[in-house]
């Protein structure tokens, strides 16, 4: 059932949850258990869950004695190769507490533009879900080029939600909700609900590197939310610390209502509906 409001999340059949690098790396690594706890409870209630997780490069930085996100592509790719392995190990270690198994799915933007690759990715994730496995999706940074800075996976999560026909998308951030301007600015107000078709052009969304490890920001989340909602997927943007509340339907975050009459997803490439925010 498509989630038309936050309150529908607990009764959704399939939900995509996305978490960014800064929320689960460095001092934030403890949140992996927090997120896994919430996902395990959601699965116990009958919800199929797909996790889109950034963090491969950020996870590798201390292991490779790197002081910050590398600038050159080759080092980014090498860091991703190391960090993805460790990141999956951390997720699986946490999932072991519930007797759950993770399945790694690595994608690039090109995969979702190619009909054969797109079909294979959809089939693989459907089968993983059918086997009771938690698909954990990340960008395939070891072969990516410009996509390696692709909105910290916010857009990828929106495309995955569209690809598998998810009822809702939850984008986990470092703040509880989106604001009309950067929250540090005077007069910035929280945005609780965005109805389909609302004009967001009057708002100022920032897009900055977070703690030197992530490449997302409020702008990428707003654009990804508009992309997913245009395809009929309800979207909630909130803090990673509130993941349990989000999946339980609590009144948290910024809710983007889905298009009431979305473009059919059965045909054509995902992402065919343009984002409303540049």
With residue 139 as reference, give the H or E element that holds it: strand 134-139
DSSP string of 211-256, one letter each residue: TTTB---HHHHHHHHHHHHHTT-EEEEEEGGGHHHHHTT-S-SEEE
With residue 95 as reference, give the H or E element that holds it: helix 73-95
Per-residue pLDDT of the chain (278 residues; tens, 9 = 90+): 688 999 999 999 999 999 999 999 999 999 999 999 999 999 999 999 999 999 999 999 999 999 888 888 889 889 999 999 999 999 999 999 999 999 999 998 778 888 999 999 999 999 999 999 999 999 887 876 654 445 568 999 999 999 999 999 999 988 899 999 888 888 899 999 999 988 888 788 765 444 444 455 788 899 999 999 999 999 999 999 999 999 999 999 999 999 988 864 444 455 544 333 43
**Residue ranges of domains in the chain, CATH in brackets:** 6-256 (3.40.1160.10)
The structure's pTM equals: 0.90
């Amino acid at each position: 059932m498509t989630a038309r409001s936050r309150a529908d999340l607990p009764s959704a059949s399939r939900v995509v949850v996305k978490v960014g690098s800064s929320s689960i790396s460095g001092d934030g690594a403890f949140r992996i258990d927090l997120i896994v706890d919430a996902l395990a409870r959601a699965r116990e209630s009958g919800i199929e869950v797909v996790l889109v997780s950034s963090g491969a490069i950020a996870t590798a930085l201390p292991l490779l004695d790197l002081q910050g996100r590398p600038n050159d592509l080759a080092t980014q790719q090498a860091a991703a190769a190391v960090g993805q392995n460790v990141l999956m190990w951390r997720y699986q270690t946490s999932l072991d507490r519930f007797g759950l198994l993770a399945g790694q799915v690595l994608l690039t933007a090109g995969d979702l533009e190619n009909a054969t690759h797109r079909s294979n990715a959809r089939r693989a994730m459907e089968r993983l879900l059918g086997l009771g496995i938690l698909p954990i999706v990340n960008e395939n940074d070891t072969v990516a080029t410009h996509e390696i800075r692709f909105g910290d996976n916010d857009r990828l999560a929106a495309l995955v939600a569209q690809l598998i026909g998810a009822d809702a998308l939850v984008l986990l951030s470092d703040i509880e909700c989106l604001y009309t301007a950067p929250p540090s600015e005077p007069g910035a107000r929280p945005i609780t609900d965005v109805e389909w078709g609302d004009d967001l052009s009057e708002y100022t969304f920032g897009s900055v590197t977070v703690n030197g490890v992530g490449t997302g920001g409020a702008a990428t989340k707003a654009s990804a939310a508009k992309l997913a909602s245009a395809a009929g997927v309800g979207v909630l943007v909130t803090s990673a610390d509130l993941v349990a509340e989000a999946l339980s339907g609590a009144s948290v975050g910024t809710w983007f209502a889905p298009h009431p009459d979305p473009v059919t997803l059965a045909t054509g490439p995902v992402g065919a509906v343009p984002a409303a925010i540049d």
